[in-house]
Amino acid sequence: MPDLSLARRSSLERFAAGRGAALTALPAATRLMLRGRPAAIDAAEAAFGQTLPRTACRATQTERRAALWLGPDEWLMLAPDDEAAPLFATLTEAIGAAPHSLVDVSHRQVAIEISGPDVEAVLNTGCPLDLSLDEFPVGMCTRTIFGKSEIVLWRTSAAGFRVEVWRSFAAYVWRMLEEAGREFRV
């Protein structure tokens, strides 16, 4: 007679284990889009107080600020919400007459933090990128899509991402992430 003492495991056990991905609406932030040639970027970097990444699709971060490389001459600069006006003025003065574009987009977009053991699978319900750690390591960022919305996706930890999304698409992206995450939650 076969040994039936082994406990059978339900294929639903992994869902009941509380796995998944948690969503957090991040607080308001200063968001500046900077485009420019090397002279302008060097001046902005000095005024911003941290290195602007010069490698494609990478981010740099300090305790209070971050800079994301989004294109050959384009960076998204993030800082605390109360720094918008003084930071903009400091950068404008530092860059001076060097050809550049500096635009405050703080009110245009919002940020969502998504983290958890199944974060890659949840994001892949609407994002076609390979989000494995080997292909999308910590510190990598890019513009991509999530469903029908353009987003900026930044891997902030092994199991965490920051999603920057235009305010008008935020509810859509949030609900889609929630729906995708239900598969992995209790």
Quick check: 8 pLDDT over 80?
no
Among 107, 124, 147, residue at a domain's last position: 107
Same domain, 103 and 170: no
Same domain, 94 and 30: yes
Domain of residue 72: give its range: 24-107
Q: Which residues of 60-93 are buried (b: 16+ CB within 10 A; e: fewer)?
A: bbeeebbbbbbeebebbbbbeeebbeebbeebee
Same domain, 186 and 112: yes
Structure tokens at 31: 């968001």
CATH of the domain at 124: 3.30.1360.120
Same domain, 68 and 115: no
- Tell me what pLDDT residue 183 has: 83
- Tell me what pLDDT residue 5 has: 52
51 by Cβ neighbours in 10 Å (0-12 / 13-18 / 19+) ranks as exposed
Among 107, 141, 174, residue at a domain's last position: 107
- Tell me what pLDDT residue 106 has: 95
Sign of CA dihedral 159, 115, 27, 151: positive
Quick check: 186 pLDDT over 80?
no
Q: Structural domain tally of the chain?
A: 2
Same domain, 68 and 133: no
The residue-averaged pLDDT of 49-57 equals: 94
H or E segment to which residue 128 belongs: none
Same domain, 52 and 114: no
pLDDT band at 184 (very low <50, low <70, confident <90, very high): confident
CATH of the domain at 92: 3.30.70.1520
Same domain, 166 and 118: yes
- Tell me what pLDDT residue 14 has: 40
The three-state DSSP-derived secondary structure of 29-53 is EEEEEEEECHHHHHHHHHHHCCCCC
Residue 152 half-sphere exposure toward CB, CA atoms < 13 A: 26
146 or 15: which carries more pLDDT confidence? Answer: 146
The residue-averaged pLDDT of 4-27 equals: 59
Among 107, 139, 157, residue at a domain's last position: 107
